[in-house]
Structure 1
C-alpha cells in the first residue's frame, strides 16, 4: 500500500508539472516576439507587468498588498524569478506594499524611483530591503531612456527635475510618468499624476501621444483633463481601481470625458486583469 501511495503521489506530481509546463509553453508561444502589458487587478492600487519582445520584465508598482505575487506567478513561468526593472511611481502604500515582497521573492536587477522624502514604516522597509540586497537604485528624471532592443524603449517624461531628498506636500504629483513604445505600439503610464503634472507635461512639449493611457490616480476627478486627453489621443484607457472603493473612483466626470472623446474604457474592477499583446502595429486585448 505504501508503494502504491508513493507511485500515485509521484504520478500526480508529474501530471501537474506537465500541465503547468503546457500552460506556460502555450503562453510563451502566444507572446513570442510581442510586447505584453498586463494591468493586474490588485484592488484599489496599481500593478503593471511588462514583458518586452526580448523577454525583459518590467514591473511598475506593486499594489496595496501581496496579491501581486499570485499575479506574477500566473504570468511568468514558475522557474523565472528575475525582473529586469522595478519602478515605484511614488511611495503611497497602494503602489508600494506588494513590491516589498517582490524584492524578497525575485531577483530584481534595477529599481527606478523618485527618491522623495517619505517616512512611513512601509517605505522605510522598502529602502532597507534595497540597501540590504544592494540593488542598484536610479533616480527618475526626464530624459532618461531605457532601450530594451527590438525597437522597444521606455522613456521617462516626469519628474522634470531630480526630486531625491526633497520633502513634498503631495506625493501623487511626484509620480513617475513614462512612455513605452514598441514600433507603432505605445503606452503612457502616469501613476497618480493629477492636473498640475498634466499641465507641466503639456508645457514641456513632451510627445504624449499613445495608443493606451493608464488613467491617472485611479480615475480621480482631479486628473485626466480635456487638454491632456487631447494631447495623448488614446484609443484605450485603462483604469486600475477597486470595486466599490471609498473614494468614488473613477469619477463620472472622467469616464464621461473619455466617452465623449471616443476612448474605449477598460476597468480592472469590472474586467479583472487586462492584457495587451502588441506586434508593433496592432493590439490584441484579453480580459
Structure 2
C-alpha cells in the first residue's frame, strides 16, 4: 500500500508540474502580444541575431565566435524551450558560426541555412559534423528563397544574396544577405557583405532595400556601408555588432561618419550590449543595455 501511495504522489506531482508548464507556455505566448522580437546579441567580436515571431517560431542568424551565445539565448528564451526552428549562416567564418556548434549541442535545430561558401577551416568542419550528427537539415539559400516565420501575420525572411552558386566565392563576398519583413517594418541583415555586393543589390532593386533598420555589414568595417547603399536603404537605425576594443578597429570612423551624414542613428553592441528591437508591424521599440522599452520609430 505504501508503494502505491508513493507512486500516486509522484504521478500527482508530475501532473501538477506538466499543467504548470502548459500554463506558463500559454502566458509566455500571450505575452508576445503580436510583437516580433529581433535581438542583436552582444557576443563580442562577431554576429548573432535572435528572431522570434509572435507565434513562437525562432530563427538565429549567426552564432557568434564561441559558446557565449548560450548565455545570451538564455536571457531571451524560456527555461523549458530547447528548440530553434532554423540557424542561418550569413558567413561561415568563425566569428559567425563557432557558437553554432554549442547551439546544436544544446537545442534541437530544425534546419541550417547557408550561403554555399565552403571554407576549409576546422570550425566549419566542426559545424558540418555537428549538423550531421544531430540530423539537422542543411539548405543552400538563393535569392528569391523565403522563410515564413508567421504565416498569419505575414512575417517573412527573404534571401537577397547570393543569387548564384557561391561555392567559389570568398566568404565575405558570398555573405547571405536577408530582409526580415513584418507589416510596414523591415530589417536588412547584411552579414559581412562588402561594398561590391551592396552596389549589386542596389542595381537589382533599389526601392526594395528601403528599411527602417540595417544591421551594418562586416561589424562596421570600411569595406561595407557605402554611400550608395546607405542612401538606397535610407535606414533610421543601423546596428553595428562588434567587440569592445577589438583589434580590427571596428567600427571604422569612416562608416560612423557615413551614417551620421545620412542622419542614421547608430546602435553599437560594444557600447550598449545586446540591442533588442520589437515590432508589431506598425511601430518599433528599442531596448538595450538593460533599459526599458521605449518608442524608437513610428511608421506611417
Secondary structure class of the residue paired with 2:172:
helix
Report whether the alignment pairs 1:269 with 2:270: yes
Q: Deviations over 1:117-174 (max 9, x none)?
A: 21111110111111122211110110001122111011000001122xx233x31111
Q: Deviations over 1:29-58 (max 9, x none)?
A: 553310000000001000000001211000
Conservation of the 8 A alpha-carbon contact between 2:29 and 2:55: no
Equivalent residues in 2 for 1:100-111, closer than 5 Å: 100-111=101-112
1:281 corresponds to: 282
Equivalent residues in 2 for 1:120-269, closer than 5 Å: 120-148=121-149, 149=151, 150-163=153-166, 166-168=167-169, 170-205=170-205, 207-269=208-270
1:59 corresponds to: 60
Shift of residue 277, structure 1, vs aligned partner: 0.8
1:8 corresponds to: none
Name the CA distance, whole Å, in 2 between partners of 1:24 and 1:254. Answer: 43
2:292 corresponds to: none
TM-score for both structures, normalised by structure 2: 0.84
Name the CA distance, whole Å, in 2 between partners of 1:105 and 1:53. Answer: 23
Q: How many residues align?
A: 265
Runs of 4+ in structure 1 off by over 6 angstroms are: 21-27
Name the CA distance, whole Å, in 2 between partners of 1:250 and 1:31. Answer: 33
Name the CA distance, whole Å, in 2 between partners of 1:24 and 1:246. Answer: 43
Secondary structure class of the residue paired with 2:157:
strand
Q: Which has the higher contact order (CA 8 A, sep 6+)?
A: 1
Secondary structure class of the residue paired with 2:173:
helix
Q: Deviations over 1:168-190 (max 9, x none)?
A: 3x311111000000101110001
Conservation of the 8 A alpha-carbon contact between 1:139 and 1:162: no
Name the CA distance, whole Å, in 1 between partners of 2:287 and 2:33. Answer: 16
Name the CA distance, whole Å, in 1 between partners of 2:256 and 2:219. Answer: 11
Name the CA distance, whole Å, in 2 between partners of 1:42 and 1:265. Answer: 18
